[in-house]
Amino acid sequence: MTRDDELLAKIVAGEVARDAGAARELFARRPELVRHVRELERLALGLDHAAREQRDVLAAARADVSQRDREHVRAALQAGPGVVRNGGGRATRLQWIAAAAVLLLAAGTWLALRGAAGDGSRQLLDGAGAIELVGGPSELRAGAVFEWRGELRGAERWRIELRERGAGGARGRLLGDFTCREASWSPHADDLRDLPAEVLWSVHRIDSGGISIEHSQPLALPVVR
Amino acid sequence: MSYASASTAASGVSLHSARTRMTSPQDRERPAPTAHASDLSLVRRAASGNALAVAELVQRLECIPAMLRELHRRYGAPLASDELAEIEQNTLAVLWSKLVSFEGRAALETWSYRFVRHELLKAFERRDRNRRSVVDGAAVLARVPQAEPREPEIDPGVLSECIERVGSPAADVIRMRHFDELGFEDIAMRCGEPLGTIKARYYRGLERLKELVAPFIKREQG
């Protein structure tokens, strides 16, 4: 840092007053620095404002935490990919056993359904879907009504997922999702705008932490705009 | 607080831009000490499966949904409750996935606040983009609440993102000075650095921050 910079740093830090002799001499010699210091001070005020806003929001939030919030955060923390996946020996073993059981069940269902593939434009794909669809459209178009059977408990919701159809009907990338409380869903034209010619449609019952509890069989549907 | 300008800010600065791009060579010479070492330790213990640490982490961060609601309210509450619930889920998911990269440079709540705010502004932006075909600009503006009396020249969200880009250790000094409300002497003690070094870092940090926020100030004025 040059000597001028050092003095400027002291002025901005409030160690040297702007009307102190050294500061006045600097500003007389380099008047452009007056504006520079003003801008830095304005920036510091902006930082104070941002910090105050954050403190206010935090204080208000802390006073407004509900039991539901606690449950959501706890559920998300336990399900989150970044932390606390490995909760110790016994829990981890149980999780592995549960995961293996789910995989076996899924594989069994896949094999069972493989021989009974349906036909028509609306294609039921492989999968262990527990949510039963009621009729339902054979294509995804604006205004089409999808309905299913099931009840929500507490803070649960329905989540409709639209995914890319991968090779062999596999679930591909998530293209869009929608949540609702009613056991029916109807897309708007806007929802279809960026979709490919065919998508996989499925509905999930999710808990308050967004974890899927059960889901329907995925449907391969042509998108009609 | 204007959600329109804040939303612009959210799209203008990437949260995950190169943090050290603007860091000067002398700042890189030695790593900055961790300003919130106890928070970092808590996150690491929780990540390793320590049940007590997990419980404490949940307790510390249980205010996140309320934080989101409060920020949403301050932006004029433009979203429906189910949309807000969806953002809450996304925010929590993003937060947990990023928790492993927490470096203890800010308090856990401050660090989380940044994600909450960013996710909310992203949602505003998404919503505006989706509705562009059916809602005209005047209708959007009509939804935006009147500016608060203390409306700053620079959006707090822009500042927050730009501080990230200033990089450590100058950004750490700025955060400690303004967000943790520490005096320079306290910062020097916490960092184990001479007072003059801390003040110089603060000054250099402000100068870099000024360069980084300049385009946004111009955009808002233009």
Kindly report, residue by residue over A1-51, the tens digit of the pLDDT.
678 888 888 888 777 888 889 999 999 999 888 888 888 888 888 888 888
Across A73-85, b (16+ Cβ under 10 Å) vs e yields bbbbbbbbebbbe
Q: Is the pLDDT of residue B88 over 70?
A: yes
Interface ipTM: 0.70
Residue A95, pLDDT score: 57
pTM summary value = 0.53
Reported as a single tens digit per residue, the pLDDT across B90-121 is 888 888 888 878 888 788 888 888 889 888 88
Instruction: Kindly determine whether residue B181 and residue A13, on different chains, have CB atoms separated by under 8 Å.
Output: no
Residue A88, pLDDT score: 39
CA pair distance A187, A173, nearest whole angstrom: 19
Instruction: Kindly determine whether residue B47 and residue A84, on different chains, have CB atoms separated by under 8 Å.
Output: yes
Reported as a single tens digit per residue, the pLDDT across B125-179 is 887 776 654 444 455 445 544 444 344 467 777 788 888 888 888 998 998 998 8
CA pair distance B26, B197, nearest whole angstrom: 11
Interface mutation vs chain B, best among A3, A12, A48, A73, most B CBs within 10 Å: A73
- Of B210 and A209, which is predicted with more confidence? B210
Number of other residues whose CB lies within 10 A of the CB of residue A49: 19
HEC sequence for chain B? CCHHHHHHHHHHCCCCCCCCCCCCHHHHCCCCCCCCHHHHHHHHHHHCCCHHHHHHHHHHHCCHHHHHHHHHHHCCCCCCHHHHHHHHHHHHHHHHHHHCCCCCCCCHHHHHHHHHHHHHHHHHHHHHHHHCCCCCHHHHHHHCCCCCCCCCCCCHHHHHHHHHHHCCCHHHHHHHHHHCCCCHHHHHHHHCCCHHHHHHHHHHHHHHHHHHHHHHHHHHHC
Nearest-by-Cβ selection for B61 from A44, A73, A157: A73
CA angle B113, A176, A126 (to 5 degrees): 125
Q: Is the pLDDT of residue B64 over 90?
A: yes
CA pair distance B106, B175, nearest whole angstrom: 7
Residue B133, pLDDT score: 47
Interface mutation vs chain B, best among A16, A37, A45, A47, most B CBs within 10 Å: A47
DSSP string over A12-64: HTTSS-TTSHHHHHHHHH-THHHHHHHHHHHHHHHHHHHHHHHHHHHHHHHTT
DSSP 8-state symbol, A193: T
Tell me the helices (H) and strands (E) count for chain A, helix number first.
6, 9
Residue B63, pLDDT score: 93
Least confident of A165-179, B40-54, B68-82, B134-148: B134-148
Residue A79, pLDDT score: 64
B103 touches chain A (CB under 8 A): no
Interface contacts (A, B; CB < 8 Å): 172
Q: CA nearest A50 in B: which residue?
A: B156
Enter the tokens of residue B14: 């990437």
Given a contact cutoff of 8 angstroms between Cβ atoms, the answer to whether B188 and B182 are in contact is no
Per CB-CB distance under 8 Å, the chain A contacts of B210 are 39-40, 43
B144 CA: distance to closest CA in chain A (Å)? 18
Residue B66, pLDDT score: 94
Report residue A94's pLDDT band, with 50, 70 and 90 as the boundaries: low
CA pair distance A221, B11, nearest whole angstrom: 34
